[in-house]
């Protein structure tokens, strides 16, 4: 067994302890300051599913709001979001941000044309606007759903899914997230689905990043990966540093 597989096998052995550690962290973030609960953006993907499941386990159904935020999203993500809610007893609501997107993008394109990536990031920022409106009104905190793999290469939208109040999964690679998802009872259709930020039709994480999650996670865990993947990972890490730090000031 190589170092990467050995690491994952060891995490599998200790996953129950890790669940308790993360549940305690969530309670500390919410109950410590005396806040009401948590809001989680639900995408139909594994990262938001794990985050929501941890929050429900930590706080109970009454103190967690899961929000499905379609913007011309594929039906499979809506179905998986509802399947998740049914499985973990999540209070799930829907806010369609498609109309807001339809109003905002033409206004911006009156100034300059936007490409698909920028339009996708605009969807992510509209989604976060909705999450913060709910959190603001309820006195809740927004839970971030970005895992270590995404954070390392900046695969999140600044002001979108890269913005939140606390993150209970930020130290986990995508492969560890899959192990944790199984432990938490996340539906198999979510665990096995190709990861996608749902920014445009047919978009997948690996296609956009230019390497696989195994390439990335193997590098993060062992320091070794394919040379061409290492070069790309190091490049993305370098140019995304601004996403991981507070903005500079003078």
Is 243 annotated as belonging to a binding site? yes
160 in a domain, yes or no? yes
Give the structural domain span for 206. 3-243
Cα–Cα distance measured from residue 176 to residue 128, given in angstroms and rounded to the nearest whole number: 25
Is 99 annotated as belonging to a binding site? no
Is 120 annotated as belonging to a binding site? no
The pLDDT assigned to 56 comes to 98
Looking at the structure of the chain, the number of domains it has is 1
The pLDDT assigned to 206 comes to 84
Q: Give residues with Cβ within 8 angstroms of 133, minimum separation 6.
A: none
DSSP of 171-184: T--HHHHHHHHHHH
Write the burial class of residue 214 (CB in 10 Å: 0-12 exposed, 13-18 middle, 19+ buried).
Answer: middle
DSSP letter at 193 equals S
221 in a domain, yes or no? yes
Asked if residue 134 has pLDDT above 80, the reply is: yes
250 in a domain, yes or no? no
User: Using one digit for the tens of pLDDT, what is the confidence trace for 27-75?
Assistant: 999 999 999 999 999 999 999 999 999 999 999 999 999 999 999 999 9
Angle among Cα 237, 177, 193 to the nearest 5 degrees reads: 95
> Helices in 185-226 by DSSP H: which ranges?
188-191, 205-209, 213-222
Question: What CATH number has the domain bearing residue 7?
Answer: 3.40.50.620
Is 18 annotated as belonging to a binding site? no
Asked if residue 135 has pLDDT above 70, the reply is: yes
User: Which tops the pLDDT comparison, 191 or 193?
Assistant: 191
Cα 147 vs. chain centroid, distance in angstroms? 6
Is 189 annotated as belonging to a binding site? no
Asked if residue 87 has pLDDT above 70, the reply is: yes
The pLDDT assigned to 83 comes to 98
Is 145 annotated as belonging to a binding site? yes
Is 232 annotated as belonging to a binding site? no
52 in a domain, yes or no? yes
Is 46 annotated as belonging to a binding site? yes
77 in a domain, yes or no? yes
Average pLDDT over residues 7-29: 98
The pLDDT assigned to 202 comes to 66
E strand or H helix at 65: strand 64-68
Is 42 annotated as belonging to a binding site? yes
Is 43 annotated as belonging to a binding site? yes
Average pLDDT over residues 225-250: 95
Write the burial class of residue 144 (CB in 10 Å: 0-12 exposed, 13-18 middle, 19+ buried).
Answer: buried
As a whole number, the mean pLDDT across the chain is 95
248 in a domain, yes or no? no
User: Using one digit for the tens of pLDDT, what is the confidence trace for 88-116?
Assistant: 999 999 999 999 999 999 999 999 999 99
């Amino acid at each position: 067994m190589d170092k990467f597989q050995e690491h994952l096998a060891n995490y599998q052995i200790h996953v129950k302890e890790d669940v308790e550690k993360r549940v305690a962290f969530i309670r500390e973030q919410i109950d410590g300051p005396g806040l009401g609960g948590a809001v989680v953006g639900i995408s139909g993907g594994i990262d938001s599913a794990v985050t929501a499941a941890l929050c429900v386990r930590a706080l109970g159904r009454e103190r967690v709001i899961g929000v499905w935020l379609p913007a011309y999203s594929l039906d499979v993500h809506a179905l998986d979001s509802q399947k998740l809610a049914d499985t973990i007893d999540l209070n799930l609501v829907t806010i369609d941000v498609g109309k807001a997107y339809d109003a905002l993008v033409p206004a911006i394109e009156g100034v300059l044309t936007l490409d698909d990536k920028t339009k996708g990031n605009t969807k992510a920022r509209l989604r976060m606007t909705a999450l913060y409106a709910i959190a603001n009104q309820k006195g809740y905190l927004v839970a971030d759903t970005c895992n270590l793999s995404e954070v390392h290469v900046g695969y999140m939208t600044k002001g979108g899914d890269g913005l939140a109040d606390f993150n209970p999964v930020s130290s986990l690679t995508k492969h560890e997230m899959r192990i944790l998802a199984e432990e938490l009872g996340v539906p198999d259709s979510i665990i096995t689905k190709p990861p996608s930020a749902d920014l445009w039709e047919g978009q997948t994480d690996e296609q956009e990043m230019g390497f696989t999650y195994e390439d990335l996670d193997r590098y993060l865990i062992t320091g070794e990966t394919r040379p061409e993947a290492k070069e790309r990972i190091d490049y993305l890490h370098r140019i995304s540093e601004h996403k991981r730090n507070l903005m500079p000031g003078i």
